[in-house]
Structure 1
Amino acid sequence: MYADLALIAVATEATIGYPDVVYRAIGHPVTWIGRLIAWCDKAWNSETLSDEERRWRGIYMLVLLLAVSVLSGLVITAVLEEFFHDIIVLLLAGVIGSAMLAQRSLHAHVAAVASALETDGIEGGRRAVSMIVGRDTRALDEAAVSRAAIESLAENFSDGVVAPLFWMAVAGLPGAIAYKAVNTADSMIGHKSSRHLAFGWASARFDDLVNLPASRLSALWFVLAAALSPGLSAPRAIEVLFRDAGHHRSPNAGWPEAAMAGALGIQLSGPRTYDGIEVAERWVGDGRSDLGAGDIRMALELYRAACGLQIAALVVVVVISLMF
């Protein structure tokens, strides 16, 4: 276990995030990974090939992506160990690993939706939420904008915070980088378009697999956070979780979304439109549907409590490991 590394990484990310000056100077690991995926997509995913051949090429791309990611993590760790003392290696690896997490930036992007609704009205809310969701936002009302923001918060808590931290704790820096590569591939080519249905199949299925433990863990953090948050309901979160999570379009996203909906006493998911096509998704939760900026703020409070619990759990694991 690499709980100490994960603790340093999440504490670093919560404190400073990914500084803009660093991003302007060298970009972000996700953008580097994205360039490799885009190159493979362009070079290997020819529309003249059969679906079977495109699926195999997608598998080859995933294997390449995992190999490059794991090797990168191993090389970084080896270089640090060559030049620095163990404690410095741990600290530097934790700072590097913090780039795999999106705890602080996720909060900022979702909070921006609430602020836009409060200051600029529905048009501002639509612009802000369009930055974090893939659905059409031009015709969304305030409730739909708020629902989209809260869904993004719940789902990305699992994908962008809990999952990379989990794999970092289990497999160190190589595990976190490999997870981030898989998740980026799923977001870029793991959808059911005619171009990517076959080529992105392996990435989408593998992403479902590696996100399975984190999705359940993120739901647990939301339930525990609801128990500690005035006005929220852990029993209702558990009820909605076990009733509605399995009905979600995603085998993983339904877990944090259901826990969030139950805790807040609201409805999430439901019908939405992608590229002009309406998709009739089932509702998650049976609470209020008339949502607004205040509900986004309440969801953010639950999110902060869940993040705090996750950090506290890592502290406990590290202390126990030091004792024994």
Structure 2
Amino acid sequence: MFLLAFFALIVERIFGYPDWLFRRIGHPVTWIGKLISRLDAGWNRETDDFAARRRMGVLALAVLLGVTAAAALMAERVLLVLPFGPILLVLAAASLPAQKSLESHVEAVADALRKGGLEAGRKAVSMIVGRDPEKLDEAAVCRAAIESLAENFSDGVVAPAFWMGVGGLAGGAAYKAANTADSMIGHRSPRHEAFGWAAARFDDLINLPASRLSALLFVMAAFFIDRASPGNAIRAVLRDARHHRSPNAGWPEAAMAGALGIALAGPRSYGGQMIEARFMGEGGRPELTRDDILRALKLARVADGLLIGLFGLLAWIIWQA
């Protein structure tokens, strides 16, 4: 299983998910999203009371995970009996991590700031974060981009690869289903506070190992980056991670902030409402520039290389056992 994750990470790192393929057939996340939308429309009835909507949300999550895992398991078995089946399986698995697209979206923010200034940077960062872009100055734009890089490295790269290593294509696909459900219905809006409760809690649970591993990878990557500090990264994680509003996002954000000597998170505005939050990397520089985005990207690339190497080592150890 870790061998599959190892090769999937390498393929996605190099090629990403081709635009022409997305235009033709979509992406596994878009297929999963359509199923979630159908379940939400059909089972999240506003006439039901809170408890009933929560129960239906639990059932919807179970159906989503069951359908996704079963489809992926069937695809895996079919692919393995076809000519060049292992290669086809790796290509299918490579659709689950998002190293290349994450890097390109974050890099686009730095490029926009360089070419078009603050307004262009706000527009670029609005594509990857949910906070109000018109209220962001340049430092806040950079902070938002780096936070997105740190959190999505955990959620979009490490976690699907980890669960693929544990459960093969079905494990990785089931993780993507749960994570997509959290992003679509796992928020505290009047419509989804009850129905999305199970998706949000389950996503917190399954992202726990990846968030800790991501923090460790950022700490290790800091050894290879000029002016980065592994020691500060460790101290930031131990001091700040538990104070984040998310039980998981604080780990990679604190590690990246400490490693680079910057401050992430803190107060921000969503939908016109100010959210008070503690800084990750407390005492680090709060006034960030596009150069900090580029340094964060360099740290993430090294961490990604370490992740691939780790999975290759685990695959070799299992192969030798």
SS at match of 1:181: helix
User: Which TM-score applies when normalising by structure 2?
Assistant: 0.98
Which residue matches 1:93? 89
Structure 2: distance between partners of 1:227 and 1:299: 14
Of 94, 108, 111 in structure 2, the residue corresponding to residue 112 of structure 1 is 108
Q: Is the 8 A contact 1:5 1:91 kept in 2?
A: no
Identify the residue that residue 241 of structure 2 maps to in structure 1.
Answer: 245
Q: Which residue of 1 aligns with 2:22?
A: 23
Q: Check whether the contact 2:80–2:86 (CA below 8 A) recurs between aligned residues.
A: no
Q: Contact 1:70–1:177 (CA<8 Å) still a contact in 2?
A: yes
**CA separation in 2, counterparts of 1:283 and 1:130?**
21
**Counterpart of 1:307?**
304
1:287-298 aligned at under 5 Å gives the runs 287-298=284-295
Distance 1:77 1:287 in 2: 47
- Following superposition, the deviation at residue 83 of structure 1 comes to 2.6
Where does structure 2 lack aligned partners over 5 or more consecutive residues?
none
Alignment match, 2:252: 256
Give the match for residue 69 of structure 1. 68
Residue 218 (structure 1) aligns with: 214
How far apart in 2 are the matches of 1:169 and 1:219?
19
Tell me what 2:138 maps to: 142
Q: How many residues align?
A: 320
* In structure 2, C-alpha distance between the alignment counterparts of 1:300 and 1:121, rounded to whole Å: 20
Deviation of the 1:283 alpha carbon = 1.0
Residue 8 of structure 1, CA deviation? 1.1
What's the % identity of the aligned pairs?
Answer: 56
Using the TM superposition, give the Cα deviation of residue 322 of structure 1 relative to its aligned residue in structure 2, in angstroms: 3.4
- How far is 1:282 from its partner? 1.0
Aligned position for 1:166: 162
Distance in 1, Cα, partners of 2:177 & 2:194: 19
Write the letter of the residue equivalent to 2:115: T
Please say if residues 6 and 165 of structure 1, whose CA atoms lie closer than 8 Å, have aligned partners that are also in contact.
yes
Return the TM-score normalized by structure 1.
0.97
Gaps of 5+ in 1: none
* C-alpha deviation, 1:320, in angstroms: 2.7
| 1:229 counterpart residue number | 225
Could you tell me how far 1:127 is from its partner in structure 2? Answer: 0.1
Q: CA deviation at 1:216?
A: 0.2
Letter in 2 for 1:253: A
**What corresponds to 1:278 in structure 2?**
274
Q: Which of residues 313, 317, 320 is equivalent to 1:320?
A: 317
SS in 2 for 1:138: helix
Deviations, residues 108-134 of structure 1 (Å, cap 9, x unaligned)? 000000010111000000000000001
What is the aligned partner in structure 2 of residue 35 from structure 1?
34
Equivalent residues of 2:80, 2:89 under 8 A apart: no
| 1:131 match: secondary structure | coil
1-side partners of 2:317 and 2:195: how far apart? 45
CA drift at 1:241: 0.4
Paired residue for 2:80? 81
Cα distance in 1 between the residues matched to 2:228 and 2:310: 21
Does the CA-based 8 Å contact 1:8-1:91 persist in structure 2? no
